[in-house]
Structure 1
Amino acid sequence: MIDYIKGNLVAVEPAYLVVEANGIGFQIYCANPYRFINDLNREVVVPTHHYVREDSQRLFGFTTRTERLLFEKLLNVSGIGPKGALAILASGEPEDIIHAIEQEDEALLVRFPGVGKKTARQIILDLKGKLDDMAPMLEPAAGADKQQKNPQLEDALEALRALGYVEKELKKVEKQLKAETLETDEYIRRALALMLKRP
């Protein structure tokens, strides 16, 4: 198993990172690649999961080992593959996801992309009571304010800051962006379009 990749972050794409290590460019799929945007062209250490099947191999990367462990737990759920697990991680913080599972909060789980009532029940059935080993790695369960956050929008705003846009410019479009439900790269394109329209 490849535990982590340490190298120079040479590209951040909508679905993956490219990290160059020892002359090899590793394509690493992530829940939110834009969380790494501030480390572009710098050395990074990315915890990874090497997913191997007969017809394919992929590296999945994470911001923390906690996120990776939850990804691996989700892979044990019947009906959830890597794509589904990444979509869940992209839409919520690990502590919120775990709290929802332990509290059997189907209403929260079905908000995640690709998770219907049947899948939410399966997640609870397969994982409730089996996440105790993650407790020391997590912060206390989030309150209402945190649950209202939009990780995709936050990542998009962070990426725009890294590109040189100042807070004053971002504040002008943030309210309009909050009214929309988009992926991180779509938020970035939308924000750029809105800022170009403004005098």
Structure 2
Amino acid sequence: MIAYIRGNLTYIQEDSVVVEVHGVGYEIVCANPFVFQSSLNKEVQINTYHYVREDIQVLYGFKNEDEKYLFTKLILVSGIGPKGALAILASVDVDEFVSAIEREDDKFLTSFPGVGKKTARQIILDLKGKLTAMLTISNQTDTHEGRETNGTEQLMEAQEALKALGYTEREIKAVIPELQKENSTNTDEIIRKALALLMKS
């Protein structure tokens, strides 16, 4: 198993990064490759999961071990494959997601692409009580209102609005890390910030 890749970050694509190690370029698929933007042409170490099936081999990359751990557990849930797991990681804080599982928050879980009520219940059934030992959760007793203050739902709404305005997935992903730093809970503010960043790029 390839636990991590350390080398020079040479390229960032819409859904992956390329890290060169001793003359070999490793393509690593990530939830949001642009989180590594500041490390372009520098040495990086990316946590990886080597996904192997009869018809495919893929390296998936993560910002930290918590993301990687959650990914490995999600892909074991019936109805969620690697793409679905990455879609979840692309727009949520790991602690927040685990907290939602612990409080059985179906509404939160079904807000992610490809996760219906049946899959949400399966996530809770399979993972409740099994993630907290490995992950550091800031507040597992957060209410749904606590989720609102985190800004995840508003960020997702802003992304949809930007798509409606004609911006591509690649363009939107490029500004998400900056938007997450703002930690805004106002959708309009997030959109305005995003538009300002998009006009600069």
Q: TM-score, normalised by structure 2?
A: 0.76
The Cα RMSD (Å) is 2.8
Per the TM alignment, residue 158 of structure 1 is displaced from its structure 2 partner at its CA by 4.8
5+ long unaligned stretches in structure 2:
160-171, 180-186
Query: What amino acid sits opposite 2:43 in the alignment?
Result: E
Alignment of 1:118-157 (within 5 A): 118-135=118-135, 137-141=136-140, 143=146, 144-148=148-152, 150=155, 156=175
- Cα deviation digits, residues 88-122 of structure 1 (max 9, x gap): 11110101110111110000001111111111111
1:178 matched residue in structure 2: 191
> What amino acid does structure 2 have at the position aligned with 1:145?
T
Q: What is the one-letter code of the residue matched to 1:129?
A: G
Determine the structure 1 residue equivalent to 2:198.
191
Shift of 1:134: 2.1
Partner amino acid, structure 2, of 1:44: V
Are residues 175 and 154 of structure 1, via their aligned partners in 2, closer, same or farther at CA, if it must alter by over 3 Å? farther
Identity %: 48
Alignment length, in residue pairs? 173
Asked if structure 2 preserves the Cα contact closer than 8 Å seen for 1:38 and 1:159, the reply is no
Counterparts of 2:26 and 2:138 in 1: how far apart (Å)? 31
Q: Which residue of 2 aligns with 1:40?
A: 40
Residue 146 of structure 1 aligns with an amino acid whose one-letter code is N
Q: Report the Cα offset of residue 177 of structure 1.
A: 6.0
Give the match for residue 163 of structure 2. Answer: none
8 Å Cα contact 2:32-2:173 kept in structure 1: no
SS in 1 for 2:134: helix
TM-score by length of 1: 0.77
Asked if 2 retains the 8 angstrom alpha-carbon contact of 1:177 and 1:191, the reply is no
CA distance in 1, matches of 2:99, 2:54: 35
Query: For 2:138 and 2:8, how far apart are their aligned partners in 1?
Result: 30
Runs (5+) with no aligned partner, structure 1:
161-173, 180-186
